[in-house]
């Protein structure tokens, strides 16, 4: 699943340009038994399976460098935000541990990881989906990855508000027209309109961002 996405689109281009190296590895190769088990039943009982610590420990022994940040993807983690993507853009090597089943042996979080990240208040079947979301958000911030030099600088969230609406040709479609100001050529007026729309939208949909 990861490989499909890592080998497509902008993530692929970032790798081809030598701006990022992305690799999905299967934890089973570090399993300790002949059945290559990476999960087991929970102590204390209850439904589901729990990811074992040994394969994760052994994987990290092999993958970790002095510069590695080890991140556990979990709904219990700190909520992922643009500012965390910006923080991780500066990190030279990141290992993301993706749980599935009911969870991961707590000793992993307690002793082996530097950070725990959640991508939202919902539970996925596979943390790899969360890792891909986080990877994409980080990689697009690496200088040179996006075509237009400032398309990341003007992102919503780095500006602190939602993005303003965008329009392109045709000027009228189905009777729905583009706002006049965008056709005016008056750059100051356009800038003002965009700032105002961004603020209105943020006030209406995400007042929490305005603090
Ligand atoms: N694994 C399962 N659900 C998750 C979530 N919301 N965020 C990060 N990892 C997860």
Q: Whose CA is nearest to atom 7 of ligand 1?
A: 118
The average pLDDT across 43-57 equals 96
Is ipTM > 0.85 here? Answer: yes
Q: Is 121 annotated as a binding residue?
A: yes
Q: Which atom of ligand 1 is nearest to the CA of 123?
A: 3
pLDDT of residue 73: 97
Q: Is 63 annotated as a binding residue?
A: no
Spatial separation of the C-alpha atoms in residues 27 and 24, rounded to whole Å: 10
In CATH, the number for domain 154-210 is 1.10.1270.20
The domains of the chain are located at 2-139, 154-210
> Is this prediction's pTM over 0.90?
yes
- Supply the DSSP string of 86-142, one letter for each residue: HHHHT-SEEEEEE-BTTEE-HHHHHHT-SEEEESSSS--SBHHHHHHHHHHHHHTTS
56-68 residue pLDDT tens: 999 999 999 999 9
Q: Whose CA is nearest to atom 10 of ligand 1?
A: 74
Query: 2-139 belongs to which CATH class?
Result: alpha beta
Q: Is 99 annotated as a binding residue?
A: yes
| Residue 150 annotated as catalytic | no
- Are residues 139 and 11 in contact, defined by beta-carbon separation less than 8 angstroms? yes
Domains 2-139 and 154-210 are alike in CATH topology: no
């Amino acid at each position: 699943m990861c490989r499909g996405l890592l080998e497509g689109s902008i993530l692929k281009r970032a790798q081809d340009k030598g701006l990022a190296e992305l690799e999905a590895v299967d934890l089973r190769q570090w399993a300790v038994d002949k059945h290559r088990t990476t999960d087991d039943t929970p102590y204390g009982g209850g439904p589901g399976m729990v990811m074992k610590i040994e394969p994760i420990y052994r994987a990290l022994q092999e993958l970790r460098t002095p510069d590695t940040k080890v991140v556990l993807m979990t709904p219990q983690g700190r909520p992922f935000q643009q500012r965390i993507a910006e923080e991780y853009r500066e990190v030279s090597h990141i290992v993301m541990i993706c749980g599935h089943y009911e969870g991961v042996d707590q000793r992993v979080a307690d002793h082996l990881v530097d950070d725990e990240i959640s991508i939202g208040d919902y539970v996925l079947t596979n943390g790899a989906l969360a890792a891909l979301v986080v990877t994409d958000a980080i990689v697009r911030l690496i200088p040179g990855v996006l075509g237009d030099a400032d398309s990341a600088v003007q992102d919503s969230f780095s500006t602190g508000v939602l993005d303003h609406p965008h329009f392109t040709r045709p000027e009228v479609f189905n009777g729905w027209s583009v706002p006049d100001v965008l056709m005016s050529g008056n750059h100051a007026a356009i800038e003002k309109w965009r700032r105002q729309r961004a603020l209105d939208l943020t006030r209406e949909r995400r007042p929490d961002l305005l603090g």
